[in-house]
């Protein structure tokens, strides 16, 4: 009989750990199919008084100055790669509040007296962040910026929120890579030299099946609005494929294990000496931090609390029967939480720390918590003129209605027709659209902004479709790889009800990004056009000119002017020559 324990949600564990000025925590959780979820969380606080005076201690100076310069009160920045496989991995970490769509996503509350001022400060912000994170954030211009109405709410405490403007921009085409991680790690007080951040390595992080880096800056205040501080929270969440990560870096080509080591399914008809259908071994793989991340943790970051909740910086979420061995020379403390499914460790200072889990046959497992909603989005249709978008959103709950906001930020060259918007629910005939907010695109100035408040009954699937036209771009507006297609930012879904039990931040979900093929011209076109029109014009000119300046004579009168044309001239010359030759010859005779 296999018994199950519930997966702990990350938010429940780390919510208490914000009392000191700096705290960090790593949570490891094995997932099915030898995947491993690693969630790194770093928080630093700076009192708002010293922030105003630009005395930075744990808050990074470079980012702090950018925020002050751009008058940004709250900032959320995401770098993401890959897709979260909700079917096999279950609910997203942090309820999806700390992840972004594929590429780069940025939203911020900017303090400004007018919309124009807010936008110019937003541009300042994106340009400065672009330099700080070595990302193309400066390409977030008016066409990629929207002002969401229902989807995002500030997380921090803002007292004079009347002047705050929310702006949101995405870059779905941006490829997140090591050059974004390096500045990210530099913002941490321990800089990857100690503490859990010493595990962050670009080779492993960007080899993950799914990864997201986030930076969230928000003001937090005591209940009465005094004693404010600015909190920066940095997260790195990734799902590593353990088999892939364990391959040595100098020999990364996957090779099959020797056939003797594989348990084969002999009942298959093709089972032979050289053909094998491998059987599932039914046991958890063995792994250690050094295997998966390439190096052990280099001791604790001394800036964290030395005792109490914040001192337990590494936690692993496995069933109680799973054996976990600690390999360190220093002294560490292990404690167990939540019916022993969560083991947390106080790291030794100055000594390497490694966790080793041997291969083990398990009788119990952990139950994955189900996501409250699943969503998939695709482009339908064919041809280069028009297409349609289809989003399929499923509510798996047996009892509860789900109400959510669906946000689309489409590029201007994708022109949706709102009258073709259809929302159908599989189990009922009522209209699921509760509210619509739509701001149409303006060519080359801004993109489409569509927000829908939708409601799905239990065990139902909602299908949302709308048609769109594909615009033809100007010659210079095409990127160098125009035939690859254009990326369309993921749709953002925020659950309105049921509310998440774990935190006030809400629950978020993002679809994958889409690739939109646009009609691409022949890029040698301008020269062809020049040559063609020139030829036509030259022909016309030549005819008119010749008609005007040539003298017209009858065909029989033409010979009076002597031989015409090159042929005539040539034959004339030839004959004269031949005659001269003949004349000489005649004399000689």
Partner 1 sequence: MSSVRDANASSNTKPAANDSHSPPPIIKAAIAKKQPPPETSESVWTRRWVIFSFWAVAIFLGLPVWWKATAIYRAELPLQTMTDWADGKICKPVFPLRIAVEAPALPLQDAQHLVRTTQHALDDLNEFSAHHLRLMLAAAPFANASQETVGTTNDNTIEPFRVPRDKDIALSIRMLPVESGSTPRSELQQYSPALDVYYTPNQIPPPSSTSSPLATFIANELHKVFAEEQATLAHLLSTTSTAHVSKIKSLSPEFSAELERQSTRAFKYAPTYHLTFSLFSPTSVPSDWEIESALQQYLTPLLESFSSISNFTVDTQVQLYATFSPSMRQPEFDAELNAWTLRKEDLSGFINAAEWPLSPSIGIGPTINFVLYVPDPSQSPLLVKENGGNSWLVPQWGGVRILNPTVSGGAPSTPAKLDKEALASAMHTFSDQLFSLLGVPQTPASLPLRLTTLTRVRAASLVFSASSTLSALARLYKALPSIPIPDTVAKSVDLTTAHLQLACNDLREGRFQGALENARVAEAEAEKAFFERSMVGQVYFPDEHKVAVYLPLLGPVAVPLVMAALKELKSFLVWIKRRE
Contacts with partner 1, residue ranges (CB under 8 A): 50, 53-58, 60-62, 65-66, 69, 128, 186, 189-191, 193-194, 301-303, 527, 530-531, 533-535, 537-539, 541-542, 545-546, 548-549, 551, 553-554, 556-560, 562-563, 572, 575
Q: Which residue has the tokens 């094995």?
A: 30
Closest separation in Å from C-beta 553 to partner 1: 4
Closest CA to 245 of 538, 38, 548: 38
Closest separation in Å from C-beta 65 to partner 1: 5
Closest separation in Å from C-beta 349 to partner 1: 9
Closest CA to 325 of 338, 336, 313, 334: 334
Helix (H), strand (E) at residue 244: helix 242-246
The alpha carbon of residue 70 and the mean position of all alpha carbons in its chain are separated, in whole angstroms, by 24
How far apart (Å, rounded) are the C-alpha atoms in residues 329 and 17? 27
Please report the DSSP string for 432-486 in residue order.
Answer: -EEEEEEE--BTTTB-EEEEEEEEE-TTEEEEEEEEEEEPPPPGGGS-TTGGG-E
Closest CA to 235 of 218, 217, 216, 210: 216
Tokens of 285: 């793989």
How far apart (Å, rounded) are the C-alpha atoms in residues 432 and 565? 83
Closest separation in Å from C-beta 117 to partner 1: 17
How far apart (Å, rounded) are the C-alpha atoms in residues 252 and 262? 21
Closest separation in Å from C-beta 224 to partner 1: 25
Closest separation in Å from C-beta 309 to partner 1: 21
Please report the DSSP string for 175-232 in residue order.
Answer: PP-HHHHHHHHHTSTTTTTSSGGGG--HHHHTTSSEEEEEEEEEEE--TTS-S-EEEE
CA dihedral 560, 565, 567, 569 (to 10 degrees): 60
**Residue 186 or 249 having the CB closest to partner 1:** 186
- For the chain, the residue count is 589
Closest separation in Å from C-beta 521 to partner 1: 18
Closest CA to 214 of 107, 62, 73, 349: 107
End-to-end, the C-alpha distance of the chain in Å comes to 129
How far apart (Å, rounded) are the C-alpha atoms in residues 8 and 41? 16
How far apart (Å, rounded) are the C-alpha atoms in residues 5 and 306? 30
How far apart (Å, rounded) are the C-alpha atoms in residues 185 and 95? 24
**Residue 65 or 503 having the CB closest to partner 1:** 65
How far apart (Å, rounded) are the C-alpha atoms in residues 437 and 449? 8
Closest separation in Å from C-beta 113 to partner 1: 20
**Residue 308 or 568 having the CB closest to partner 1:** 568
**Residue 34 or 50 having the CB closest to partner 1:** 50
**Residue 64 or 169 having the CB closest to partner 1:** 64
Closest separation in Å from C-beta 314 to partner 1: 18
Whether residue 498 is preceded by a cis peptide bond, meaning omega within 30 degrees of 0, is yes
**Residue 54 or 428 having the CB closest to partner 1:** 54
Closest separation in Å from C-beta 170 to partner 1: 24
Contact 79, 100 (CB under 8 A): yes
Closest separation in Å from C-beta 217 to partner 1: 16
Closest separation in Å from C-beta 474 to partner 1: 17
Closest separation in Å from C-beta 546 to partner 1: 7
**Residue 255 or 550 having the CB closest to partner 1:** 550
How far apart (Å, rounded) are the C-alpha atoms in residues 332 and 312? 10
**Residue 42 or 406 having the CB closest to partner 1:** 42
**Residue 429 or 546 having the CB closest to partner 1:** 546
How far apart (Å, rounded) are the C-alpha atoms in residues 138 and 125? 9
Contact 361, 282 (CB under 8 A): yes
**Residue 84 or 122 having the CB closest to partner 1:** 122
Closest separation in Å from C-beta 408 to partner 1: 34
**Residue 438 or 541 having the CB closest to partner 1:** 541
DSSP-derived letter for residue 297 is: B
How far apart (Å, rounded) are the C-alpha atoms in residues 59 and 232? 7
Contact 140, 126 (CB under 8 A): yes
3-class secondary structure, 291: helix
3-class secondary structure, 489: coil
């Amino acid at each position: 009989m296999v018994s199950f324990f519930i997966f702990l949600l990350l938010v429940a564990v780390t919510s208490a750990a914000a009392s000191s000025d700096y705290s960090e925590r790593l949570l490891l959780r094995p997932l099915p199919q030898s995947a491993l979820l690693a969630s790194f969380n770093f928080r630093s606080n700076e009192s708002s008084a010293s922030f105003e005076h630009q005395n930075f201690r744990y808050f990074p100076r470079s980012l702090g100055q950018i925020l002050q310069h751009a008058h940004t009160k709250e900032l959320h920045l995401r770098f993401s790669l890959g897709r979260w496989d909700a079917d096999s991995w279950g609910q997203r970490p942090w309820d999806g509040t700390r992840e972004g769509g594929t590429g780069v996503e940025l939203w911020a509350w900017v303090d400004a007296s007018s919309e124009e001022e807010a936008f110019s400060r937003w541009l300042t912000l994106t340009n400065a962040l672009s330099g700080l994170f070595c990302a193309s954030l400066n390409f977030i211009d008016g066409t990629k910026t929207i002002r969401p109405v229902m989807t995002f709410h500030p997380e921090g405490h803002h007292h004079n929120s009347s002047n705050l403007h929310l702006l949101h921009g995405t870059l779905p085409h941006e490829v997140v890579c090591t050059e974004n991680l390096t500045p990210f790690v530099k913002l941490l007080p321990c800089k990857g030299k100690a503490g859990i951040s010493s595990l962050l390595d670009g080779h492993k992080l960007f080899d993950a099946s799914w990864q997201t880096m986030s930076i969230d800056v928000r003001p937090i205040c005591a209940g009465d609005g005094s004693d404010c501080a600015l909190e920066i929270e940095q997260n790195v969440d990734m799902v590593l494929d353990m088999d892939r990560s364990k391959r040595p870096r100098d020999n990364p080509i996957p090779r099959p294990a020797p056939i003797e080591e594989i348990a084969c399914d002999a009942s298959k008809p093709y089972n032979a000496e050289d053909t094998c259908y491998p059987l599932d071994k039914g046991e958890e793989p063995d792994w250690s931090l050094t295997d998966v991340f390439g190096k052990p943790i280099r001791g604790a970051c001394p800036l964290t609390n030395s005792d109490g909740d914040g001192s337990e910086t590494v936690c692993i979420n496995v069933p109680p029967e799973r054996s976990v061995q600690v390999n360190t020379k220093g002294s560490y403390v292990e404690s167990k939480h939540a019916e022993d499914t969560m083991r947390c460790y106080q790291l030794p200072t100055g000594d390497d720390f490694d966790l080793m889990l041997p291969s083990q046959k398990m009788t119990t497992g952990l139950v994955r918590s189900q996501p409250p909603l699943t969503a998939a989005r695709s482009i339908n249709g064919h041809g280069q003129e028009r297409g349609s978008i289809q989003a399929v959103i499923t509510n798996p709950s047996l009892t509860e209605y789900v109400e959510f906001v669906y946000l689309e930020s489409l590029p201007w060259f994708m022109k949706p027709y709102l009258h073709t918007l259809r929302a159908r629910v599989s189990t009922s005939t009522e209209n699921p659209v509760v509210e619509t907010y739509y701001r149409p695109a303006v060519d080359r100035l801004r993109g489409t902004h569509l927000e829908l408040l939708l409601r799905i009954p239990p065990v139902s699937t909602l299908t949302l479709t709308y048609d769109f036209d594909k615009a033809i771009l100007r010659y210079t507006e095409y990127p160098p790889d125009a035939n690859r297609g254009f990326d369309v930012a993921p749709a953002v879904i925020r659950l309105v009800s049921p509310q998440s039990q774990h935190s006030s931040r809400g629950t978020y979900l993002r679809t994958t990004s889409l690739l939109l093929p646009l009609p691409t011209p022949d890029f040698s076109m301008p020269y062809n056009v020049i040559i063609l029109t020139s030829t036509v014009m030259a022909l016309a000119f030549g005819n008119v000119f010749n008609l005007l300046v040539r003298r017209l004579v009858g065909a029989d009168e033409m010979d009076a002017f002597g031989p015409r044309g090159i042929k005539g001239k040539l034959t004339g010359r030839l004959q004269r020559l031949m005659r001269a030759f003949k004349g000489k010859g005649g004399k000689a005779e």
